[in-house]
Amino acid sequence: MSFKISLIDGQPVWDSLPVAKIVNYPLEKRDYKPFVQARLCVSRESIWVRMWAFEAIPSESSTLMVNLNLFPELSDKYISMAASYGGLLTNEVCGEQRISMAEYLVLPRVKSFASEDLQGIYWGVVFELPRTLLTKVYGSNELAANKLIKGNLYKIDQSDCSEHYGCFYHVNFLDKDAYGPKYFGDFELVPY
């Protein structure tokens, strides 16, 4: 079953969007499985991804990542955006090579945040990717209702004290291409 991504007008109203939950930690032998949520939407100008992780004391290398192939019928290339709690950002177009989005002269706007609510203490990030990048990568930026895209959401940390590997769609993290298209699932664009 595909996860629904809302087509919107204007700015996102985050609380009105469906929530993807990362609860799959296939390598975890302990109980350390940070609860992660994500919301995605597409406006006329941008692709929006908001992710947040419930961790009271995250390590500097604690990372939230999204990989999306917005035109799987045209190309194997996918967009990868990641942000760590310590402030490290990675924004690439991946395919046969990994190319920084800066080489396309288009970068996502990134906003980090941290807070707490009744569920606990959390940190997170919002990526706003201009759709102009899609034309440069895929030759099109037409995203309409019922279109299927491919991708996955991740929560990873490779630090010694809190190492973990989480995903939305199942991943074999022992595979050298664990973050590639082999482990992508379906996302469907919907007009609500």
- DSSP per-residue letters across 148-185: EEEEEEEEEE--TTT-EEEESS---TTSTTTTSGGG-E
Cβ pair 94, 111 in contact under 8 A: no
The C-alpha atoms of residue 13 and residue 5 are separated, in whole angstroms, by 13
Q: 87 or 39: whose pLDDT is higher?
A: 39
Domain ranges in the chain are: 3-190
Nearest to 21 by CA among 48, 7, 3, 46: 3
User: Percentage of the chain surpassing pLDDT 70?
Assistant: 100
- Note the pTM of the prediction, 2 decimals: 0.95
User: Percentage of the chain surpassing pLDDT 90?
Assistant: 86
pLDDT at 119 > cutoff 80:
no
Nearest to 108 by CA among 51, 157, 149, 152: 51
Length of the chain: 192
Q: How far is CA 63 from CA 107, 146, 148, 184, in A?
A: 19, 30, 26, 18
What's the CATH class of domain 3-190?
Answer: mainly beta
What pLDDT digit, counting tens, does each position of 103-112 carry?
A: 999 999 999 9
pLDDT at 117 > cutoff 90:
no
Nearest to 152 by CA among 107, 109, 186: 186
Radius of gyration of the chain (CA): 16
CA dihedral 28, 125, 73, 76 (to 10 degrees): -60
What pLDDT digit, counting tens, does each position of 54-66 carry?
A: 998 899 999 999 9
Return the SS3 of 49. Answer: strand
What pLDDT shows up at residue 28? Answer: 84
What pLDDT digit, counting tens, does each position of 148-191 carry?
A: 999 999 999 998 888 899 999 999 999 999 999 999 999 999 99
What pLDDT shows up at residue 180? Answer: 95
What pLDDT digit, counting tens, does each position of 3-39 carry?
A: 999 999 999 999 999 999 999 999 987 777 899 999 9
In the numeric block, the tokens 């203490």 are attached to: 121
What six digits make up the tokens of 178?
């664990």
